[in-house]
Structure 1
Amino acid sequence: MRLRDWDQNLKIRLAGESVVNITFWMFFPFLAIYFTDSFGKSTAGLLLILSQVVSCAANLLGGYYADKYGRKRMMVLSAFAQGAAFIVFAFSSSPWLDSALLGFVCFTVVSMFGAVYWPASQAMIADVVEEKDRSDVFAIFYTSTNIAVVIGPIIGGIFFADYRFALLLMAGVLNLVLGIVLHYKITETAPVSKMEESGQASNWISVLGDQLKDYKVIMNDRIFLLFIIAGVLVGQTFMQLDLLFPVYINEVVTDQPLLQFGNWSYVVESTQAFGLVLAENGLLVAIFTITVTRWMSKYKERNVFIISSFIYAASVLLFSQTSWIWGLLLAMLVFTLAELMTAGIQQGFISELAPADKRGKYYAAASLRYTFSKMIAPVSIPMSAWVGYTWTFFFISLLAILSGVIYYRLFVKFEQRKMETAPKW
């Protein structure tokens, strides 16, 4: 599907969200460092867990409210709320006020409304794009996000330490502008019948309870439950990209030359080092997702999932053994390979697991892999203070290996199920 054939809503969103995402990634990867320096590792880890619990509840409710009140309304509300929170965050870290606690509250609000925005934005794509073209449209939005991951951290690595107020203020203003543009330039896409049907539900507590009941029914599928558990375990590796990795690199990397020719050298500071490592990940994902997905499609899903988990484990161990910038870049190369191996096949495997009449609920429940991973992952920060980085990274690598074992058990059961349900001739 060519870009010029897209619905006007999507064209506007792609442009607006791309600009906002670049600004967001200028400072987001460095917040773990900021909160750790402000509160200490133990307190920062607990606070980050709390923020993800709030985001988890918001995510569970976001899809329902996108149906009840409409995609556009929830996206506009979220953009304005995030913009206001960013502006307050900026002033909490300004020459006039220095309050890391207020900054954390604002960060939590941003995370919460980001979780509300996401399901509405995904549902809008499904509303206006035919099923045969959806994967291409989703891929373009995904690529635009990864381009932001490339550009944002490099700029943030240069300016975050000294110009945090300006970066946060810019993010706030751009989110407010995005809210205004969405309000005046896009149209509602939610089916009216769906909104009327959802409007019959009661308060948010009962809605949350209904969502949890649906997930409970799905979790009775033992194979799917193993898939969720394995996903949460291996998720403790890639969730560290915004948590433990920046804190580790900030502490262990000293100013060192990235390139050197004779008397000339390009010296990288610790904050810039993390920006480069994260940008490498985003660049590789943006360029090679389709290529690696096609490559992996030639192999059995079982082997891809298991080997990916083991490669994740190896990459984490590599990170723990080096403070050299080129060593970190090599570790990130290995890390990204593990990420790309399963990036394109996970959704297809979920559709294999799900009964045809419950695919929507299965996809929603599958996102719990990331939700629970985000809730647990911040424990790594205080853990690094208790037992040190080496043992923390080693423990995370063990979780990745355990996920590979669970994937093996999952596919044994999955093959048994297919044999039992296969037609008898």
Structure 2
Amino acid sequence: MRFRDFHKNIKIRIIETFMSRFVGSMIFPFMSIYLAVHFGAKMAGLLLLVNVFIGIGINFIGGYFADQFGRKKIMLFAETLRLLAFFVMMLCNSPWFFSPGITFMMMTVNSICWGLAGPANSAMLIDVSTPEQRKLMYSITYWANNLSIAIGGILGAFLFKDYLFQLFLALTVVTIVVVYLVAFFIEESYAPVSTILKPQEHVMKLFSNYKKVLHDRLFVLYVIAGVLILSMEFQLTNYVGIRLSAEMPVQQFLFWEINGVQMMGFLRSENTILVALMALFATKLITPFKDKYVLVGSCFIFTIGYGVIAYSNSIVLLLLMMAILTIGEVCRVPVEQSYMASIPPDDARSSYMAFNGLQYNLAMLIVSITVTLGAILPSGIMAILITVVGLSGTLIYYMITPGLDARKQEVEMKQAG
């Protein structure tokens, strides 16, 4: 299986996502600083929170619409609206006009676009791929996303303050290309049964769709496990970063003296570099093993690694654990997402993807709780709690892998038949 064997929708999505994330990573990770400068830190936090909740709500609507009207229509509408938002943001941060208020409003429009397009994008990738292709597809997607975010983030750190107008100009140009690709090259991957419904009937059907999703016990447990495991990853820049900056003494390592804040930077860089180097080879690494063993084993390694990082102040041990857990990470992601692709039925795929999209927000909720507890409890207890969270997710995966394998086999038999 090679990249050129993929459906053209997959190739286009990988390329345009790389471009969008590359430029977007120069801007959006730093917008919290922009808002804090112009509205104050407290107001900036509230504004970002509003954006998050709007994105969550629209995510469910986007999932329903993509199942009712098709993937491409929703994607094209969202990308066109996003283009308009970026163009306005560019104008509002230009040498001729400046408006932080309108800029925030357009950030909210961008959140709406993510919510609309996200489930459709995820569902389309499943629509046009086969079970045999998915692990490689998700490995390449994961690699491209990490590489674009890493490079874009580094460049943004140098360019954001003095070249914001130029960055928004670049983002607008890239989005024009994305709209063109979606409009003229992406093929519709799902043709729903045409029905004319009144607005109130759409509302009832939306709730009915998500009621159906919530009654899928296998899927709900899968999402819970995913949230618990994903929360481990977010600890690095939250609880772990705070702990290292407060607890880790300055230490000599090779030719440098390193403090806690710098150590967190080293760990993030190590993780990014290793993911970029290893993600493309993850599929070959895991091919000899059954998916259920890879998923459970990689989650266990991932959890233990973060458990140690949540407690240790030894530079060598921290770097070693990061290397080990990154191996677990790059092996976990393609299998995890491949399993996810086999769970939803065809007629509710985007709705399932919308619900699955909550993993990020729920994981961040867990992280915010650990940060709060970290101000009260000693690091040893916190390390145990964080490890228990990860092991709980691993245990749930272990319990549901027979059901996941059965669901995956059903999909393969259906496609073969």
Same fold flag (TM > 0.5): yes
- 1:422 is matched with none
- 2:334 is matched with 344
1:313 aligns with 2:314: no
Return the offset for 1:153.
2.0
Answer whether contact 2:210 2:351 (CA < 8 A) is retained.
no
Return the offset for 1:175.
0.8
Q: Distance in 2 between matches of 1:300 and 1:2?
A: 22
Aligned in 2, Cα 1:315/1:233: closer, same or farther, shift over 3 Å?
same
Answer whether contact 1:312 1:397 (CA < 8 A) is retained.
no
Answer whether contact 1:309 1:400 (CA < 8 A) is retained.
yes
Q: Distance in 2 between matches of 1:157 and 1:245?
A: 22
- 1:280 is matched with 273
Q: Distance in 2 between matches of 1:405 and 1:229?
A: 10
> How many aligned residue pairs are there?
396
Q: Counterpart of 1:175 in structure 2: which amino acid?
A: T
TM-score (norm 2): 0.71
* Counterpart secondary structure, 2:160: helix
Answer whether contact 1:316 1:331 (CA < 8 A) is retained.
no
Q: Distance in 1 between matches of 2:238 and 2:44?
A: 10
* Counterpart secondary structure, 1:147: helix
Answer whether contact 1:75 1:120 (CA < 8 A) is retained.
yes
Answer whether contact 1:23 1:171 (CA < 8 A) is retained.
yes
Return the offset for 1:381.
6.6
Return the offset for 1:304.
3.9
Answer whether contact 1:72 1:186 (CA < 8 A) is retained.
no
Q: Distance in 2 between matches of 1:178 and 1:164?
A: 21
Q: CA RMSD in A?
A: 4.9
Q: Distance in 2 between matches of 1:165 and 1:368?
A: 35
Where does structure 2 lack aligned partners over 5 or more consecutive residues? 406-417
Aligned in 2, Cα 1:364/1:131: closer, same or farther, shift over 3 Å?
same
Aligned in 2, Cα 1:380/1:9: closer, same or farther, shift over 3 Å?
closer
* Greater Cα offset, 343-352 or 243-252: 243-252
User: For residues 213-224 of structure 1, what are the structure 2 equivalents within 5 Å?
Assistant: 213-218=211-216, 221=217
Which of 371, 385, 393 lines up with 1:398 in the alignment? 385
Q: Distance in 2 between matches of 1:275 and 1:94?
A: 33
- 2:174 is matched with 174
Aligned in 2, Cα 1:367/1:94: closer, same or farther, shift over 3 Å?
same
Answer whether contact 2:298 2:329 (CA < 8 A) is retained.
no
Q: Counterpart of 1:374 in structure 2: which amino acid?
A: N
Answer whether contact 2:14 2:141 (CA < 8 A) is retained.
yes
Answer whether contact 1:87 1:173 (CA < 8 A) is retained.
no
Q: Distance in 1 between matches of 2:51 and 2:118?
A: 17
- 2:185 is matched with 186
Q: Distance in 1 between matches of 2:246 and 2:10?
A: 42
Where does structure 1 lack aligned partners over 5 or more consecutive residues? 262-267, 419-425
- 1:228 is matched with 223
1:69 aligns with 2:69: yes
- 1:205 is matched with 203
Answer whether contact 1:246 1:274 (CA < 8 A) is retained.
no
Q: Counterpart of 1:50 in structure 2: which amino acid?
A: V
Answer whether contact 1:241 1:278 (CA < 8 A) is retained.
no
* Greater Cα offset, 274-283 or 409-418: 409-418
Answer whether contact 1:78 1:113 (CA < 8 A) is retained.
yes
